């Protein structure tokens, strides 16, 4: 097995185990045993379980943020809805979901090494900043009421989605319901046109779902 292939297999195995069981309950032996790699081989690629988890978080935050993509002529409200749809586990290939993995690890909080806690916090702050920028653009385009604080709205959407991930561990049928409601209230029910704000400040909603 080539060095790069072994590294990728270790990262893939660990990501799946972390997503299912969390960081604290997964050992290096669990990771190596699941892919039939000697435990000693692990240290040829990662100096510790924490280093492996950090590499996985970096990769999956990149995937999460890349989901914004380029909007082209697409309205900001539609881009915002598409972003959250694209990272929903139900729309991705079976396996590890960046959102679910990050949310599972974040839920462990103080049980994580402090460096991982900071990495997750910084990653989510960057995500929040990008969502807030898209909301601000939607306000400029007249799709979202201008009096709404874009940073707080971004936090609302992200908190809804992360909370849904944690809740789905016990109740998969609940996945996405709170975020759908939040998006529909802010953007209207339209998946494309979004929420139109007239000159008097009232809104017109068009049918549709997330």
Q: For 106-116, what is each residue's pLDDT tens digit?
A: 999 989 999 99
Identify the top-confidence range among 3-17, 63-77, 111-125, 167-181: 111-125
d(CA 7, CA 154): 35
CB 78 within 8 A of CB 192: yes
Q: How confident is the model at residue 117 (pLDDT cuts 50, 70, 90)?
A: very high
Would you say the pTM of this structure is higher than 0.85?
no
Report the pLDDT averaged over residues 6-31.
95
Q: Six-digit token pair at 23?
A: 């960081």
Q: Six-digit token pair at 34?
A: 């699941």
């Amino acid at each position: 097995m080539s060095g790069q292939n072994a590294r990728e297999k270790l990262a893939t195995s660990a990501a799946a185990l972390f997503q299912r069981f969390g960081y604290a309950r997964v050992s290096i032996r669990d990771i190596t045993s699941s892919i039939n790699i000697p435990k000693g081989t692990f240290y040829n690629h990662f100096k510790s379980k924490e280093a492996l988890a950090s590499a996985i978080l970096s990769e999956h935050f990149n995937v999460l943020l890349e989901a914004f993509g380029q909007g082209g002529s697409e309205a900001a409200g539609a881009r915002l809805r598409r972003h959250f749809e694209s990272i929903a586990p139900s729309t991705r290939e079976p396996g590890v979901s960046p959102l679910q993995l990050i949310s599972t690890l974040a839920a462990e909080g103080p049980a994580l090494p402090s460096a991982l806690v900071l990495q997750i916090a910084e990653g989510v702050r960057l995500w929040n900043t990008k969502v807030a920028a898209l909301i601000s653009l939607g306000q400029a385009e007249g799709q979202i009421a201008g009096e709404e604080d874009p940073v707080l709205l971004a936090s609302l959407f992200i908190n809804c989605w992360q909370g849904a991930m944690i809740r789905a561990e016990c109740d998969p049928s609940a996945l996405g319901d709170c975020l759908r409601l939040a998006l529909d209230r802010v953007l209207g029910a339209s998946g494309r046109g979004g929420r139109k704000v007239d000159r008097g400040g009232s809104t017109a909603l068009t049918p549709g779902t997330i």
